[in-house]
Amino acid sequence: MVPRKSHHKLLTEILKIPGTLVSSYQLQETVGIIVKIEAEQQQATCPRCGQKSQRLHQNHWHLIKDLPLSTQSTYLRVNRRQFKCDHCKKPFSELLEYVNPKRNYTKRLAREIVGQVLDSELRSVADKNDVSALRNSNDAKRCRS
């Protein structure tokens, strides 16, 4: 099936990830739905000096696990772009509001899993969501933020 632009718009509305647009998707039988999303903005703010930059330095593609759509596992294919600041002259990676740094799952998936853990047993929730169990209370605290 060839994805149509109307499907992209519908998936963008369903995902509800502010500042992003769905550019493509594919259904892989053994994996689930892989949704490629892109930032609406063509710039990012430098964390050092606060200046905005449009100067793209590198692209870093990541596969981020998200909440399932229907019964399908869902992954976001995300370009976490690296920019070069015109003011500081230093490269920096854009911040993605929907995923914590150095994580391969969305904040909302983490919140959902924490909610399930509070109502259930840790190991069964981890197995159900195809993720590893949290290693310590610091991971649980990060999930809530």
Tokens 């793209």 label which residue? 56
Distance, CA of 119 to CA of 101 (rounded, Å): 27
Structural domain boundaries, residue 110: 106-145
Q: Could you tell me the pLDDT band of residue 1, with boundaries at 50, 70 and 90?
A: very low
Look over the chain and give the mean of its residue pLDDT values, rounded to a whole number: 87
Helix axes 137-144, 107-118, angle to 10 degrees: 120
Sheet architecture: strand order including 72-79: 20-28, 32-39, 72-79, 61-69
Please tell me the total count of domains within the chain: 2
Q: Using an 8 Å Cβ cutoff, are 81 and 93 in contact?
A: yes
What digits encode the pLDDT tens for the residues 52-100?
Answer: 999 999 999 999 999 999 889 999 999 999 999 999 999 999 999 999 9
Dihedral of the CA atoms 42, 76, 63, 75 (nearest 10)?
180
Same domain flag for 97 and 63: yes
Residue from 13, 12, 14 nearest 23 by CA:
12
User: How confident is the model at residue 144, as a pLDDT?
Assistant: 54
What digits encode the pLDDT tens for the residues 114-123?
Answer: 888 777 777 7
Same domain flag for 118 and 70: no
Same domain flag for 85 and 118: no
User: How confident is the model at residue 118, as a pLDDT?
Assistant: 78
Same domain flag for 78 and 13: yes
Same domain flag for 101 and 134: no
Indicate the pTM of the whole model. 0.77
Q: Could you tell me the pLDDT band of residue 139, with boundaries at 50, 70 and 90?
A: low
Same domain flag for 33 and 74: yes
